[in-house]
């Protein structure tokens, strides 16, 4: 069964608009972590943002924020004021339980920012 | 810090040949991970180490794959013999005592087996 689901294979957004990339997850453990990574066309995987299951507030890192809805098991990435350089693949990942180090990745969403 | 270093960046080899991929994790990180990325299967964890000891190798596809970590600053992933279906990008990542144990990835090795 899919543990991380990213339902948007591709998204096209106008520059300067905000964009939301969807991620839903499945775990029965109460303690888990959620991550977003960016993979530009050059291929490297870049860590963007982290949300712990017990964190009371949504995580933010600059233009990135994570819309964490625990009851719905969703952890959507929001990019504000999108830039051309945001065009990339975006992966949602989950660390399933406290102390575990394995990450399970979704299939990714390809984001294209249009000028 | 230099980040995670992988070599080679590109490798083209013929079927049946031995391939060795190398990784140097970020200094001070005590976990090291090997991933494989393909279009069909996405990003898959192959194996990971903690303090140089293999913890979980359930993702290693078959006996042709082996990984070692002889010390804290070096790891290898070996494929012998290689097959065309092994063609993929192989990433090494490391993590340590950081806030969220986020993993930091190397640039990857693009392997092509002809």
CA A100, CA B101: separation in Å to the nearest integer? 10
Cross-chain Cβ contact B99/A35 below 8 Å = no
Q: Do the chains contact at B107 and A43, CB–CB below 8 Å? A: yes
Torsion of CA B22, B24, B25, B31, to 10 degrees: 50
Q: Which residue among A46, A50, A104 places its CB closest to the CB of B100?
A: A50
Rg (alpha carbons) of chain A, rounded to whole number? 14
- pLDDT attached to residue A101: 82
Measured distance between the N- and C-terminal CA atoms of chain B, rounded to whole angstroms: 36
Q: CA–CA distance from A101 to each of A34, A50, B56, B94 (Å)?
A: 12, 14, 10, 10
Q: How many CB pairs under 8 A join A and B?
A: 47
Give A114→chain B minimum CA distance, Å.
24
pLDDT > 90 fraction of chain A, expressed in percent and rounded: 83
pLDDT for B99: 61
Q: How far is A13 from chain B (nearest CA, A)?
A: 23
Query: Is the per-residue pLDDT at A26 higher than 70?
Result: yes
* pLDDT tens string A45-74: 999 999 999 998 999 999 999 999 999 999
C-alpha span between B48 and B27 (Å, rounded): 16
Q: What is the reported pLDDT for B97?
A: 64
pLDDT at position A17 is 97
Percent of all residues in chain B with a pLDDT value above 70, rounded to a whole number: 96
Among chain A residues, CA nearest to B89: A43
Taking CA–CA distances from A41, the nearest residue in chain B reads B107
Please say if the pLDDT value at position B98 is more than 90: no
Mean pLDDT of B55-81: 95
- Most B CBs within 10 Å, among A54, A103, A104, to test the B interface: A103
Give the contacts of B39 (CB within 8 A, at least 6 positions apart): none
Task: Collapse the DSSP code of B32 into the 3-class scheme (helix H, G, I; strand E, B; otherwise coil) and give the result.
Answer: strand
Q: Report whether pLDDT(A102) > 90.
A: no
pLDDT tens track for B7-34: 999 999 999 999 999 999 999 999 999 9
Q: Which member of B45, B103, B107 has the closest CB to residue A44?
A: B107
């Amino acid at each position: 069964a899919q543990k991380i689901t990213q339902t948007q294979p591709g998204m096209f957004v106008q520059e300067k608009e905000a964009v939301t990339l969807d991620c839903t997850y499945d775990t029965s453990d109460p303690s888990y972590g959620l991550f977003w990574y960016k993979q530009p066309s050059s291929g490297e995987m870049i860590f963007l943002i982290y949300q712990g299951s017990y964190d009371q507030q949504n995580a933010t890192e600059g233009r990135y924020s994570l819309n964490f809805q625990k009851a719905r098991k969703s952890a959507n990435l929001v990019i504000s004021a999108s830039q051309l350089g945001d065009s990339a693949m975006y992966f949602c990942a989950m660390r399933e339980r406290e102390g575990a180090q394995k990450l399970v990745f979704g299939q990714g969403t390809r984001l294209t920012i249009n000028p | 810090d230099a980040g995670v270093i992988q070599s080679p960046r590109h490798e083209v080899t013929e079927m049946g040949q031995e391939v060795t991929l190398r990784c140097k994790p970020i200094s001070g990180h005590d976990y090291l991970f090997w991933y494989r990325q393909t279009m069909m299967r996405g990003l898959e964890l192959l194996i990971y180490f903690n303090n140089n000891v293999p913890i979980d190798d359930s993702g290693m596809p078959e006996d042709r794959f082996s990984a070692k970590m002889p010390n804290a600053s070096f790891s290898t992933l070996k494929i012998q013999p290689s097959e065309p279906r092994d063609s993929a990008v192989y990433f090494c990542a490391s993590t340590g005592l950081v806030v969220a144990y986020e993993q930091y990835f190397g640039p990857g090795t693009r392997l092509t087996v002809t």
